[in-house]
Amino acid sequence: MHDIRAGLATNPALPDHLFAHLARTGDECVRYDLTCREDLTEAQARSLRAYDDVDLWGLVAHAKVPWAEVPRDTPDLVLAAVRAGTAPEAAVRELAAHPDPEVRAELVDHDEGLPPDVLAALARDPDPTVVERAAEVPELPADLAAELARHPHVVVRLSLAANDRVPPLLLAALLADGGRPAPTRCGACHRRAAGCADHTPGIRRIRRVVATNPAVPPAGLEAFLDGEEAEDAADAEGRADAEDGAAAEEAARADAAARARTAWLCADIAERTDLPVTFQARLAAHPAAFVRKALARNPSIGEALMRRLADDPDPEVALAVAENPAVPLDRLTMLAGRRRLPREPLPRILAATHAELTKLARSRVAQVRALVAARPDLPPALVERLAADADIGVAQRIAPHPGLAEDRLVELVERHGPPVYGAVALNPGCGGALLRRMAGDCGSVRKALRTIAAHPALPPDVVEELLTDPDPRVVRAAAAHPALPVATMERLLGHAADVASAGS
């Protein structure tokens, strides 16, 4: 009965007296579903708070608890009220002065526009974990960002290096040398009176993080990568001279990890749209396929490079080209004839002109026609054309289109049978009679019942029939259906209570 209760807990037509009944069942998951209802009233929220296992934080975070009733002795709840906008500014200032640094750090995470003086105070907090969070704030003023770029702790500069709202020139300085003066504290030494003898590894981490920041100017990136690769090679050579046996194996693993880190760095950089053509060509020849894949999605690469990547031996790279908004249509058509492409609308298809769509809809390649059918704003003539397509893949893509008349949906069902039921049930115009027919004829394609059970036009008697389906997700969807009669809800909950009492 849990699935029925869970479905009823999310049913928008659930009456108040049954809400209270569900809350009393003792099912913690059901109570959680009740707390997450968008239409939860203040009175219902208050009734839920009577139970020890209720998600009180969730109620406060969703502004379902008035500020006057939020327990002040629980910082997490006060923070949730700040995030929900129900707490006054005085509460924000109290949290900013809280003795626990974790609470002060959480206040930064809950930022919804902290008062400037409060943000400044947190950015100058004596605990670096608090300052680290402050350095991530998008609205960080430029003068405060410049101050944090000189912070002695590595973790603060790392957070600042990842903030894409930091002024580009400041990021360029961090890329060059990690910032001046050099940091003097890191995670390994900030609790000790004597710091580490060398913070070079921390400076290297700062430079690596800032290199992936899309706001850093591209001018120094290629030189930075050259330096990283040279340093990795020098480290590998040093380890090879010094190690043998089991230690050599460990050194080999360290070298592989270093190369992988540099490759992921290249993949992040490959997503930038402001890279010089020569830099793009270098990344297109990278030995790691995931770097070439990141570049293949980049709409700024030229057509020649895109065509080259479309012929990449790694299928994931070619697939990424298909997802590029600027891919030439002839290349996309070629890829569709060779590989299985995503079901969701591709960016290039979404941007295609009417003439291009018309041409693609007449393609001899069924997957190309299916790509067109997935576009949600097709002209009516193309909707009709694709609805008459004999290919089942095209039918599955066009069936959810809201421009299809119900008689066309019936034709799709008659032509293709159960394999299109799930797609047809996604169409908002699908009528009750057709839904009834599909619900009784799913056969082996029972997954479609989950979609059918959630359709708003499903007749109430069919909803009730699906409550006994062996698939718990179908049962849950049926119990959550707003067409389910209140009398049925009452009967179900009465039966659930009988089962519970019998079990005890």
- Mean pLDDT, the chain, as a whole number? 91
Nearest to 411 by CA among 393, 430, 428: 430
The answer to whether the CB of 470 falls within 8 A of the CB of 441 is: no
CA-CA distances (angstroms) from residue 487 to 255, 467, 493, 494?
Answer: 68, 14, 10, 10
The Cα 230–Cα 217 span in angstroms is: 22
Task: Please classify residue 475 by burial: count the beta carbons closer than 10 Å to its beta carbon, then call 0-12 exposed, 13-18 middle and 19+ buried.
Answer: buried
* Short-list 350, 407, 405, CA closest to 383: 405
| Rounded CA separation 382/20 (Å) | 51
Residue of 295, 116, 368 whose CA lies nearest to 382: 368
Q: What angle do CA 134, 128, 102 make, to 5 degrees?
A: 75
Q: What is the pLDDT of residue 195?
A: 67
Q: What is the pLDDT of residue 445?
A: 80
Under a CB-based contact definition with an 8 Å cutoff, are residues 199 and 154 in contact? yes
What is the end-to-end Cα distance of the chain in Å, rounded?
Answer: 15
Residue with tokens 């001899």: 364
> Which residues face 153 on adjacent strands?
185
CB 118 within 8 A of CB 93: yes
Round the CA-based radius of gyration of the chain to a whole number and report it. 30
Q: Which residues contact 251 (CB under 8 A, 6 or more apart)?
A: 236, 239, 240, 242, 243
How does pLDDT run across 314-373, given as a tens digit for each residue?
999 999 999 999 999 999 999 998 888 888 899 999 999 999 999 999 999 999 999 999
> Which pLDDT tens digit goes with each residue over 437-478?
999 998 778 889 999 999 999 999 999 999 999 999 999 999
pLDDT along the chain (504 residues), means of 10: 92 94 88 92 91 89 92 94 92 95 91 85 95 94 96 95 96 94 83 74 93 94 87 68 67 80 93 94 95 96 94 94 94 90 92 96 95 95 96 96 95 96 96 96 86 96 94 95 95 66 44
Q: Give yes or no for a contact between 395 and 415, defined as CB atoms under 8 angstroms apart.
A: yes
Q: Tell me which amino acid residue 373 is.
A: A
Q: What is the pLDDT of residue 190?
A: 66
Model pLDDT, residue 111: 58
Long-range pairs, 270-275, Cβ under 8 A, ≥24: 270/294, 270/295, 270/298, 271/214, 271/295, 271/297, 271/298, 272/214, 272/218, 272/298, 272/300, 273/298, 273/299, 273/300, 274/218, 274/300, 275/218, 275/221, 275/300
> What is the C-alpha separation between 463 and 458, in angstroms, rounded?
7
Look up tokens 């296992």; give the residue.
Answer: 53
